[in-house]
Structure 1
Amino acid sequence: MLGLEGKITAVIGAASGIGQAIAVAFAKQGAVVACSDVDGDGLKATTAAIEAVGGQTDASIVDVRSSAEVDSWLGRVVAEHGRLDVAVCTPGINIRKPLIEYTDAEYDAVTDVNLRGSFNVLRGAGRIMAPQGSGSMIVISSISSRVVEPGQVIYAGTKAALAQMVRVFAAELGRAGVRVNAIAPGPVETALTEPIRASSAWAGAYAEKVALGRWARPSEIAGPAVFLASDAATYVTGELMFVDGGWVDLDAQFADQDAVATD
């Protein structure tokens, strides 16, 4: 049920991090993977990795902020393969600073990628999948959609909005046979989190918040994406799936660990 043999999938943000891991994981499960990103060199690395596992792929330079580019790319995928079974949107950026210090340009930069970009992919894929009567869409939210961290207000706002967008869109497209879900990762070892991991103290503090005591690898986010794309998840839609090593649900679990141990 977790196999993706023959499924036509499109992954935007495939040049690195979570997007790259998802694209390769889809290929390993037998999917045809159309990859896109603004990073051409990264796309070459991803396509090489897919071809190394015997996968079928192609790559396109696409800016997720441009609805015209997104629609054109998805249209080419359908023109070549006849349908679109899975669409995944992973790009995201973060500018860490207090709200009162944000500039208009910084606000636009974060919201244009995180929110408008995901909107472009959801709308474009939805216009294809609804008429064909099937499909699965997956976007990347974050634990920041629920937890609070100073300096994250705009990033967190986009991720929370994205979670609600997914829920409403799932309700709109459910009767058409289309599923829409989001994954909310915790701390993951990607380029986006390099500034945090550059400080051992900061990186350690994040790891301490996780029940598993460590950061996630991008491949550990790819597994849930494979599930949501597969026939194992045909009754799953409108969900925000937390893949966070227990951060959110176990947030206060260890606050009084010593007392619990002596009871």
Structure 2
Amino acid sequence: MDYGNLFRLDGRRVAVVGGASGIGREAARALAAQGAHVIVADRDADGAAETAALAAGEGGAAAPGVGAAVSHPLDVLDPEAVRTAVAAWGALDGLVVTVGANVRKRIADYGLDEFDRVIALNLRSYLTLIQAVAPGMAERGRGSVVGFASMRAFQVEPGQGPYAASKAGLVQLLRTAAAEWGPQGVRFNAVAPGVVRTPLTDQIAADPEWFDAYARASALKRWARADELAGAVAYLVSDASTFVTGTVLSVDGGWTAVDGRYDPAV
């Protein structure tokens, strides 16, 4: 075992779907820094192109020791577009999916169109991507798929019903994929973030009381930065995790450990 290169991804091709901003952008940058050729896919074509430039240098010219990066516009809700994109990307060693949506409403107030939107982006899109990517990885006998769940897959609060359900469903989808493609050497894992400051949490950030309450609920007493999730992605794609599959890596600042409990003076 060459421990000095345990996390290196030289020669690997990794697609980051949802890479135009937030966690996806930072994941793409981290993967490229480890030598991967990164394909940044997103419906936001301009954002994806900006991420690719950040990852591999302006104009796509890779810096020494840094992998190349290119962008690809993609609507993950269009199954045919997904299949066409995956075919165009060629052989992949890794797939990282960070797309997601949340409509924070009580269950009684949820519209079916809102429910369908959350489930489609948070769960159905993963099914389409896995169906397109996993068979090719299985033929080559290796590959790593990383999906983004949430601490809400395990711990809920009012207003998180469909979102929590979709993330719990994603965990089980990835676990099942791990069982089905494990014999062919393909790994599937989930990252479960806590509260991360991205465009998805703008609604919370606009409410100081809500924002501060979330900060106080974790063991570290703060929100995460998007770049603090990138290490988990690099680990799960790399050879440092070759015997890790069907699992959930919580990167939540200890939120689920301490359960946001009051700290009494005892």
With the length of structure 1 as denominator, give the TM-score of the two structures. 0.94
- More moved, 24-33 vs 51-60: 51-60
Q: Equivalent residue for 2:13?
A: 8
CA-CA distance at 1:165 after TM superposition: 0.8
Taking only aligned residues, the RMSD between alpha carbons, in angstroms, comes to 1.1
Q: Runs of 5+ in structure 2 lacking a partner?
A: 1-5
Q: Equivalent residue for 2:160?
A: 152
CA-CA distance at 1:70 after TM superposition: 1.3
Matches within 5 A, 1:207-246: 207-246=215-254
CA contact under 8 A between 2:101 and 2:122: conserved in structure 1?
yes
- More moved, 85-94 vs 41-50: 41-50
CA contact under 8 A between 1:170 and 1:178: conserved in structure 2?
yes
Query: How much identity, in percent, do the aligned residues show?
Result: 42
Matches within 5 A, 1:131-150: 131-150=139-158
CA contact under 8 A between 1:10 and 1:74: conserved in structure 2?
no
Q: Equivalent residue for 1:191?
A: 199
CA contact under 8 A between 2:189 and 2:247: conserved in structure 1?
yes
**Partner secondary structure for residue 249 of structure 1:** helix
* CA–CA distance in structure 1, aligned partners of residues 133 and 230 of structure 2: 20
1:74 aligns with 2:74: no
**Partner secondary structure for residue 188 of structure 1:** coil
Structure 1 residue ranges, 4+ long, deviating more than 4 angstroms after superposition: none
The match for 1:50 among 43, 50, 55 is 55
Letter in 1 for 2:34: Q
Q: Equivalent residue for 2:26?
A: 21
**Partner secondary structure for residue 70 of structure 2:** strand
1:61 aligns with 2:73: yes
Q: Equivalent residue for 1:255?
A: 262
* CA–CA distance in structure 2, aligned partners of residues 249 and 221 of structure 1: 18
Q: Equivalent residue for 1:33?
A: 38
* CA–CA distance in structure 1, aligned partners of residues 211 and 129 of structure 2: 32
**Partner secondary structure for residue 118 of structure 1:** helix
* CA–CA distance in structure 1, aligned partners of residues 258 and 131 of structure 2: 34
CA-CA distance at 1:256 after TM superposition: 4.0
**Aligned residue pairs, count:** 254
